[in-house]
Structure 1
Amino acid sequence: MTSSPIAGIRPAGTRALLVELASLADVTALHTQLKAHPLPGQVDVLAAAGTVLVRFIGRRETVDAAGRIQALDLTRAEAPEARTVTIDTVYDGADLAEVSRLTGLSEEAVIKAHTGSSWLGGFGGFAPGFTYLTGGDPVLKVPRRDTPRTAVPAGSVALAGEYSAVYPRESPGGWQLIGRTSAVMWDLDREDPALIRPGDTVIFQAVRELVTTTDPSPAAIEESAAGPSLVVRAAGLQSLIQDLGRPGYADLGVSASGAADTRSARQANRLVGNPADAAVIENLFGGLELTAHGDTVLALAGAEVPAAVVSPDGKRDRPVPLNAPFALLDGEILTLGSPFRGVRAYAAVRGGIAVEPVLGSRSTDSMSRIGPASLESGTRLPIGNITGTTPVGSPEPGTLLSGDQPGTLGDGDFPTLLRITAGPRQDWFGPDAAAALTEHTWRTTNESNRIGVRLETDPEDPEAQPLQRVRNGELPSEGVVAGSLQVPPSGLPVLFLADHPVTGGYPVIAAVVPEDLPVAAQLPPGHPVRFVFVHPDTLAPLSPGSAAALFPEGTP
């Protein structure tokens, strides 16, 4: 009887499963099968070095999928449609001499080894168009640089461990650079944006010509004088176009993105009579000013901000209610001040912001640089046509509830309480980690953004300590979900938000439940945070003993 290639299935939050497999071939087989034949409720599937992350629409579908995955026969999986991609490369990389030293080969022999055998597209991740290539000459197995570069040029051909890859755009990175290419690894104008897909054969061909590359930038917002619009007078610290995101592209290195606080974005749309997925403006820390061209109806939700409408001549103003629809007439100006609770306000206009969608979404992805560019003074935002007869809504309570209960934005003496479920890599920390994570208060830092909320120990709690691992070494990159609490070597967790990378190389100790992510996106710098373990099905709090039992003794 043949043993199953599935080594284990770990929960990754309440709506995703991390499937561990015996080999990269098994990873490819499962990924191919789930892409061709999605399971009920499947939203995304992402292959990595030894795992496949499968994300679902809800908890019931996730629980049901565990048994379905275990029963799959991967020996009958369809082989992916393979292509051969040739990459013309100039071998003059900054680390070519170092790779020569590490391998004991001459620089010419390094080049010959890299071009002398074909590579296989193993899995995507890290960035759109970045594909991990396997199967090259084993002599080229070299470690990452001790100190990563803050900026690796687009088109850099690199080595790390047993992998080779091409950087599709300028980004930080610690791989050894041996050459460069002009091949465009990611192009949204192509039917398949990624030049290399998992399963493709890749051949590197040495050339002498110097080449240049261009770094893809966010799409400019096309302006149109026809129809009603909003013109940005001031964008504040950061104002972005967001909707509910673009799930389904994780295997291409593209996160779902979307509004960081989906609850508030949905509310703003509901108040003006829009569909839930209409595009809105997400504003960070106020400072936004919008001028109406044509009569419009808007609503503000999310962060509690002072807001006013100023007359065209600037001589009169009136306060604007939050969480209720209001008129912004032709020539009038909407102004947002600094929030006194929360950090992200959402402005919806009846008809929605009608910028061109990218991969099916109008969201700006700050990590992948996909979607509309950040708003600037002078940007004109077209307003979509109103379809149907959906009326505007009635005033509603705000989404930022006060108190000491989970899902509320604590204030005064109350830290914000976020519910978490363990895993998938809690065994990297040992049984004492549950108490270390939940029995002390953490503080958010001013380095937080849409990618993640960075946490530090509370300076007022002398017993609080960073989380300690019980395992050494590196964790191979694997898929992660929004809400993941990833723990780098510093022991200070990072809570992933909407624009998080699709893969990560640090262990994830736990994940914030999706129901609490909207409030996590509203945490200001220096805000106190506490975590509580809950049952993944009922979200009922677990006793300290039950939570500790989720953390087995690790293997140093």
Structure 2
Amino acid sequence: MRFLSVSLDSFLIEFHDLLETTHFFRHLQRNNHSAIVDMIPAEKTILIQFSVFKTTQKQLISWLSQQHIQHEHTVQGTEVIIAANYEGEDLAQVAELLGVTTQEVIKRHTQHVWKVAFIGFAPGFGYLNCEQRPFGSIPRLSTPRKRIVAGAVALAGEYTGVYPKDSPGGWQLIGHTAETMWDIHRDPPALLLPGNSIVFKEAKHVAQVSVPDHIIKHDAEAHKPLPIARGILKILNAGMQTLVQDRGRIGKFAMGVGVGGALDVGAMQAANQCVGNALNDAVLEILNGGFKAQVQSPTVIAITGAISTCVIEYADGTVAEVSCGQAIALDAGDTIEIKRPQAGLRNYLAIRGGVLAEKILASYSFDTLAELGPKPLSTGDEVAVGQSPKQAVSTDSKPPKCLPQSKDTVVLDIVLGPRADWFEAESLETLLNQLWKVSNDINRVGLRLQGEVALKRTQHQELSSEGTVTGALQIPPSGQPVLFMNDHPLTGGYPVIATVAHYHLDLVAQIPAGCLIKFNKVSEFMDMNV
């Protein structure tokens, strides 16, 4: 086994092949160490996330290296038949790469049985492999597409897969299916599970699959949100993006579900503390101001995060500016407006009692990549209050943190790895010494960075998809980093050169476009063979 650094609380274990990875992962599931928080299995790696309060990285690696694994017989999974048309925009390109006709590509894809090796990238995205390797290894696109539609059938490396949701991606598209890969109203939500056998059938008009017995389709009526009493706030302007967020979905990696949750956890918790809520109660996350809401009944709110002008127009017509970071008592008819931030990017609005919404997989958060949770708020929506146990309202104001403005330089600590050794030594120096500009292409999935000198690899082979964490600096072939945020895909096929330290992630959430980033190494690259 090979152990590779990822961040201060996670690392990769690398194995020789998928079989060895699978056996070790199953062993860890049965004999889980109390300090292991979660795991992401992939083709040749397992990402281990652990609690630094329960063990050290050195102690946990020592325990892992002493595990003795007994190989098991492969269990035959349920067969799923998927009807697909083969009119993908990369079909001709794949045929040209292989030196065959497009019809031969279709034949190879439909006349082999595929197995679900593992779930990753996004909820319901199964990595399907075949022992015969009918396509060899198909390279990913040099630049990932920003949007691939749900149901797209694709190839990358030795795998095929079906995109469960509209999402970015770098796989080669050869077809499309009408079947839903991920449905939160099914049990389990993922149609494809590890070990399942998958057979693709060509169809000019795509139809639904032969649904296996283990899938239970629930009555959609039973999953409608419960009736909610009249809202506390009525949205007059939702701005660029207003989402319900809490701490996220902890411990769901095995389902292909990331943590998500509030990007600036500290600001979320500070807002809740001001109004007497539990620290991780649901709040509103407001992107770049432009938010306005009217109060429907007396309440107490608090606004934290970005440095913004907040204006209250009281029901009697008087207007006042209020400070962020303090409890604000409001009556019916009052309106609250949050202007565009002078510094930072996201505000957090807490309501005493917590925001009430439909809970999905134990969280109220909306994951923009997986499309899980309550949908983004729109003008006219009402926000209801929850019944969270309440403490006394805080009378202390919380001074705003020093947050970046456009064109400021922000210093972020990083841990090198797990694929730092895939890059030229000069590129590692470039990563640390060059200023990286934050492009306009930023969202909850990640920030695209731009540098005058691109990072260059020494190893150019395809990387088997492997687990990633929030803060990862993934390097596509362009050599320009993508800094992953909370809604990032769980696995990726481009090498990660380093990861931002967890204590700087709140700061990353507040970096606007146009800022410059300087990376500061706080830990050497760990590469340990046992």
TM-score (norm 2): 0.88
- Candidates 175, 186, 192, aligned match of 1:190: 186
CA apart distance, 1:282: 0.7
Q: 1:504 to 1:96 in 2, by over 3 A?
A: closer
Paired position in structure 2 for 1:415: 409
User: Which whole-Å CA distance do the structure 2 matches of 1:225 and 1:421 have between them?
Assistant: 45
- Candidates 159, 166, 191, aligned match of 1:163: 159
The answer to whether the Cα contact below 8 Å between 2:307 and 2:400 also exists between their aligned partners in 1 is: no
User: Which whole-Å CA distance do the structure 2 matches of 1:454 and 1:471 have between them?
Assistant: 22
The answer to whether the Cα contact below 8 Å between 1:400 and 1:519 also exists between their aligned partners in 2 is: no
Paired position in structure 2 for 1:391: 392
1:9-88 equivalent positions in 2, closer than 5 A? 9-58=3-52, 60-61=54-55, 63=57, 64-75=59-70, 82-88=77-83
CA apart distance, 1:170: 3.3
Paired position in structure 1 for 2:334: 332
User: Which whole-Å CA distance do the structure 1 matches of 2:331 and 2:154 have between them?
Assistant: 55
Secondary structure of 1:281's aligned partner: strand
User: Which whole-Å CA distance do the structure 2 matches of 1:456 and 1:495 have between them?
Assistant: 11
Paired position in structure 1 for 2:287: 284
**Which residue identity lines up with residue 256 of structure 2 in the other structure?**
G
Paired position in structure 1 for 2:270: 267
**Which residue identity lines up with residue 271 of structure 1 in the other structure?**
C
**Which residue identity lines up with residue 332 of structure 2 in the other structure?**
D
- Post-superposition CA distance 1:160-189 (Å, at most 9, x none): 332122222334445444443333211101
The answer to whether the Cα contact below 8 Å between 1:123 and 1:131 also exists between their aligned partners in 2 is: yes
- Candidates 107, 126, 130, aligned match of 1:131: 126
Instruction: Note the aligned Cα RMSD (angstroms).
Output: 2.9
- Candidates 468, 471, 483, aligned match of 2:456: 468
Secondary structure of 2:324's aligned partner: coil
Q: Which moved more, 1:508-517 or 1:178-187?
A: 178-187
Q: 1:385 to 1:198 in 2, by over 3 A?
A: same
Secondary structure of 2:520's aligned partner: strand
User: Which whole-Å CA distance do the structure 2 matches of 1:433 and 1:109 have between them?
Assistant: 41
User: Which whole-Å CA distance do the structure 2 matches of 1:198 and 1:250 have between them?
Assistant: 13
2:494 paired with 1:494: no
Q: 1:500 to 1:297 in 2, by over 3 A?
A: same
Q: 1:428 to 1:142 in 2, by over 3 A?
A: closer
Q: 1:508 to 1:175 in 2, by over 3 A?
A: closer
Q: 1:105 to 1:471 in 2, by over 3 A?
A: closer
User: Which whole-Å CA distance do the structure 2 matches of 1:452 and 1:174 have between them?
Assistant: 15
CA apart distance, 1:103: 4.7
Q: Which moved more, 1:27-36 or 1:271-280?
A: 27-36
**Which residue identity lines up with residue 394 of structure 1 in the other structure?**
T
User: Which whole-Å CA distance do the structure 1 matches of 2:201 and 2:432 have between them?
Assistant: 53
**Which residue identity lines up with residue 376 of structure 1 in the other structure?**
S
User: Which whole-Å CA distance do the structure 1 matches of 2:404 and 2:93 have between them?
Assistant: 52
- Candidates 371, 374, 377, aligned match of 2:373: 371
User: Which whole-Å CA distance do the structure 2 matches of 1:157 and 1:35 have between them?
Assistant: 31
**Which residue identity lines up with residue 233 of structure 1 in the other structure?**
L
Aligned residues: 512
CA apart distance, 1:30: 2.3
Q: Which has the higher contact order (CA 8 A, sep 6+)?
A: 2
User: Which whole-Å CA distance do the structure 2 matches of 1:182 and 1:207 have between them?
Assistant: 11
User: Which whole-Å CA distance do the structure 2 matches of 1:312 and 1:513 have between them?
Assistant: 46
Calculate percent identity across the aligned residue pairs: 36
User: Which whole-Å CA distance do the structure 2 matches of 1:76 and 1:142 have between them?
Assistant: 27
Q: Which runs of 5+ in 1 are unaligned?
A: 1-5, 214-219, 402-408, 458-463, 536-546
Q: Which moved more, 1:334-343 or 1:83-92?
A: 83-92
1:324-363 equivalent positions in 2, closer than 5 A? 324-363=326-365
2:501 paired with 1:509: no
Paired position in structure 2 for 1:254: 257
Q: Which moved more, 1:524-533 or 1:513-522?
A: 524-533
Secondary structure of 2:7's aligned partner: coil
**Which residue identity lines up with residue 503 of structure 1 in the other structure?**
T
Q: 1:100 to 1:513 in 2, by over 3 A?
A: closer
